[in-house]
Chain A
Amino acid sequence: MRNRSATLGAGLLALSLSACGGVPGTTSDNGSENGGEEESRTLVFAQSADPTTMDPQDARSTSAERVNRNIYSRLFRRDAEMELVEDLVIDYEQVDEQTWRFTITDEAVFHNGDPLTAADVEFSINRVITDDTLLEYVEFNQITSVEAIGDYEIELTTDGPMPTLINVLSKGGADIMPSEYIEENGIEGFIASPIGSGPYEFVEWRQDDRVVLTANEDYWGGEPQWDEVELRAIPENSTRVSELLTGGVDIAADVPPNDWDRIDDEDGSHMVFGDTTRVMLLIVRMTDGYITADPEIREAIDLAIDQGTITETLFEGNATPVRSRVPVGSFGANEELYDDFLYDPERAAELVAAADETPEVTLTASRGNYPFDGEVAEMIASYLEEVGFEVNLDIREGGSYSDMYSERNNEELFLIGLADGMLDASSPMVHYTPETAEGMTDYFSEEVIDLLNQAGRTLDEEERAQLYAEAQEIVAEDRPHIPLYVQPGAFGVSDGVDFTPRLDDNLYFDDILPND
């Protein structure tokens, strides 16, 4: 019986191994081993989540963007300094307020050898502006039509002046897909085996494990840096860090603060930090009947919080205090509100003392949605209590926390991190329009609305930036949000590679260089 059981078990095990794609003896996942050989350079990047789809127009996650940035080309892209630069486009002009013409390079080819033409641009942009089930649709629905007017010329029209058009055309939804290949294989076939015209070709996606890419030897933009790239999904923080320390990966993203010193202390690895577009802030309920409708109470809350101590102690100085929800690096950010906070507990205590009765506020936060969010909430609660507030600290699990936000059931204070995927003030400032503020902050400022409306219409970039900067100053005084700090991007990096994080958290593998 024992022999029979063992044979059965071994058989099942072998069957299962073969079924899950196991190839005994391979060590292809070891980046450093391969990375050290000049003939075959492999970059292994570990992130906390797996992409959910290979459809570039239906993936609004950082984990998917990091793959797609390298498989596809697009009309424009952002360089490492977040400047918008031409990618496929070699020339463009604005014909009138609503019409734009673009000429693209005739050198770009897809990974299957098909040339990339205006027909592919028309196909790709047309898909994202007409299919409202795609996640990227909301960014593109101001574009009303796209037409190939030559082999390499395209005309776009918008539903009005669209100052953010070039910005939008640099996003994942504008990744150019091969129209003929999709017509032959269907969109499902394309998603199963995607083809782009970027520096890296798709090899395989083992879900919840890794995406493997290989260098596109015929890349129209030059020779790729790496022969092979793997993006591994390792959700457990300690495992991701251990992989870095053992040379299993070259770069580990989303390193939790308690592992920073461990990585820096280890030979062969170091921490690299950069700003992100995510600003941690308090949403303040200004609705009539809430104590936080009183501007002096909101000011007292702002003055009571020591953002400097929060960023220095919890984040070891790697987070930057801010007074605006628009991160520096985004178009229209007010730089005077960056690296600034107003901590003044004496003045805060005076304002609280002037209130008719002890002000009571509920502070809602999550624990684990953002680095140290629970700890930050606890520190804020103690700062507020020090100046005389009575604080109900309401720490919720992720689902209940998200529901409270989406259903707008927030109480006086709600701690959250809000990102700016557009890298343009038009996106974060939308929170201060009545439509978006209703039921959440209930903020209403005619002055701000007027400035935002003007900014939304003007195509003069300097004027637009100035209008947004003015609006941010008013919001900083009114305090519908009390911004705290910019959440840092924290990466553990092997000494074998040279890596600088980008503000938009994207990856262009050719910007990551081997340290030979």
Chain B
Amino acid sequence: MGTYIAGRLAQMIPTLLLIITIVFLLVYIVGDPVSLMLGEHATPEQVATMREAMGLNDPLLVQYFNYLGSVLTGDFGDSYRYNQAALPLVLDRIPATLTLAIGAILLALVIAIPLGVWAATRRGGVVDSAVSSLSVLAKAMPNFWLGIMLILLFAVVLQWLPVSGSGSWAHLVLPVVALGTGTAAEITRLVRSSMVEILSQDYIRTARGKGLRQRVVVYKHALLNAFVPVTSITILQFSTLLGGALITEVVFSWPGLGQLLVNAVSMRDMAVVQAAVFVIAVMVLALSLISDLLFKAVDRRISLG
């Protein structure tokens, strides 16, 4: 197990290097932030001086290796907007984003597992059709649109919950629902299809033939086996949620990594963009590793390596 984990960690290095390189090149292509930094009254001389000072007039390769050297020491540069080191700025926002993502995953599981099982045990019936239709609808709704609709209904019309911001459990409800709905739909469909497949297998018929109660057959024998694909998709969905959180955080004014990154992109605060993408990449790779380790924990038949 230790060797396997060490191997996977080693594999992350070239992947991260590739990501750093791609982000650097994208930033290079998009252009520099000098015009936005200096504002509308900047003279060409001021723009040129600032570009020189920031090393933006150096050849591409020189800029790349300078950047790479800094990144290897954990220095992504300073945010020109905040006048602070970019990496700590990004790391400070992770707890808020994780709060949303974990909340959304928990909500998705709480909704998806019972609904998926319910639909699978009533295959072809009204419940199954209703669950399938709702899943498609929930999956099709864009996060930001759902977020705005939730605000209008629950905050503006009914006034049950705050519109935006952070600081209390009440503030967490709407963004978690907006972010978790699509994931709930995805996991519901997966739980249903896994359960349908498992419930038709011989050992389930044997269990029923032995006179075991339906609840024991479904929840003990079938659902436990359905957890392998469910675990996989849940972990993968967590990565997707980090992406979804970008827009959700802006809609709900949630002070997380997403809002920081969206603002950084629009203001070309490239040090923050690069640090944020790097941190998200590390998180996704770590989640992938955790997913594999959880597979092994859930199903002993799976071998690692």
Q: A residues near B, CB below 8 A?
A: 1-2, 5-6, 9-10, 12-13, 15-17, 19-30, 49-50, 52-53, 55, 58, 60, 206-210, 232-236, 238-239, 242-243, 245-246, 248, 398-400, 402-403, 405-408, 416, 418-419, 427, 430, 435-436, 439
Q: Offer 11 A-B interface pairs, CB within 8 angstroms, sorted by A.
A: A13-B99, A20-B256, A21-B167, A22-B167, A27-B162, A52-B82, A53-B83, A55-B83, A206-B166, A242-B152, A399-B30
Q: Which 3 A-B pairs rank lowest in CB-CB distance, beginning with the nearest?
A: A406-B35, A19-B95, A16-B99
Q: Given A29, A208, A233, which contacts B167 in the complex, CB threshold below 8 Å? A: A29
Q: Which of A15, A25, A406, A436 counts the most chain B CB atoms within 10 A?
A: A406
The one of B47, B106, B251 in contact with A406, judged by C-beta atoms closer than 8 angstroms, is B47
Contact A13 B103 (CB under 8 A): yes
16 A-B pairs besides A1-B224, A243-B163, A248-B163 with CB distance below 8 A are: A1-B227, A13-B103, A16-B96, A16-B98, A25-B168, A29-B162, A29-B165, A52-B82, A53-B82, A206-B166, A206-B255, A235-B263, A236-B253, A243-B164, A406-B38, A418-B40
Chain B interface, number of residues (Cβ within 8 angstroms)? 61
Question: Please, which residue of chain A has its CB at the minimum distance from the CB of B110?
Answer: A6
Interface hub of B92, B165, B255, B259 (most chain A Cβ within 10 A): B165
Judge whether A248 and B99 touch: CB under 8 Å. no
Q: Does B198 contact A (CB under 8 A)?
A: no
Which residues 20-75 of B sit at the A interface, judged by CB distance below 8 A?
30-31, 34-36, 38-44, 47
| Contact partner, B251, options A236, A248, A416, A418, Cβ 8 Å | A236
CB within 8 Å for A26 and B95 given contacts A55-B83, A406-B34:
no
**B133-173 contacts to A (CB < 8 Å):** 148, 151-152, 155-156, 159, 162-172
- Is A248 a contact of B82 with CB atoms below 8 Å? no
Interface pair A9/B268, CB less than 8 Å apart: no
Please, which residue of chain A has its CB at the minimum distance from the CB of B266?
A398
- Which residues 64-107 of B sit at the A interface, judged by CB distance below 8 A? 81-83, 92-93, 95-96, 98-99, 102-103, 105-106
Q: Are B105 and A9 in contact (CB under 8 A)?
A: yes
A-chain residues with CB within 8 Å of residue B278 when the two chains form the complex: none
Residues of B within 8 A of A (CB): 30-31, 34-36, 38-44, 47, 81-83, 92-93, 95-96, 98-99, 102-103, 105-106, 109, 113, 148, 151-152, 155-156, 159, 162-172, 224, 227, 250-253, 255-256, 259-260, 262-263, 266, 268, 297-298
Residues of B within 8 A of A9 (CB): 102, 105-106
Contact B167 A248 (CB under 8 A): no
CA distance A319 to B70 in the complex (A): 49
Instruction: State whether A27 and B168 are in contact (beta carbons under 8 Å apart), knowing that A246-B159, A403-B31, A416-B40 are contacts in the complex.
Output: yes
What is the minimal beta-carbon distance from B84 to any residue of chain A, in angstroms? Answer: 9
Q: A403 and B106: CB pair below 8 A?
A: no
The CA-CA distance from A148 to B31 in the complex, in Å, is 46
Chain A nearest Cβ from B90, distance in angstroms: 12
Is the Cβ of B99 less than 8 Å from the Cβ of A60? no
| Contact A1–B39 (Cβ < 8 Å) | no
Given contacts A12-B98, A60-B39, A239-B253, contact A399 B31 (CB under 8 A): yes
Question: A439 and B44: CB pair below 8 A?
Answer: yes
* Residue from B31, B102, B109 with most neighbouring chain A CB atoms (10 Å): B102
Return chain B residues, CB-CB under 8 Å to A399. 30-31, 36, 268
Q: Once the chains are docked, how many angstroms separate the CA of A206 from the CA of B92? A: 11
Q: Are B168 and A23 in contact (CB under 8 A)?
A: yes
Query: Chain B contacts of A5 at CB under 8 A?
Result: 109
A242:B81 contact, CB within 8 angstroms: no
**Complex: how many Å from CA A144 to CA B83?**
27
Our pick among A6, A53, A58, A239 for the contact of B151 (Cβ within 8 Å) is A239
* Complex contact B44–A408 (CB within 8 A): yes
Task: Choose among B47, B159, B255 the residue that contacts A208 (Cβ–Cβ < 8 A).
Answer: B255
Residues of A within 8 A of B98 (CB): 12, 16
Name, among B42, B98, B99, B227, the residue most crowded by chain A CB atoms within 10 Å (CB to CB).
B99
Contacts of A20 in B (CB 8 A): 95-96, 99, 166, 255-256
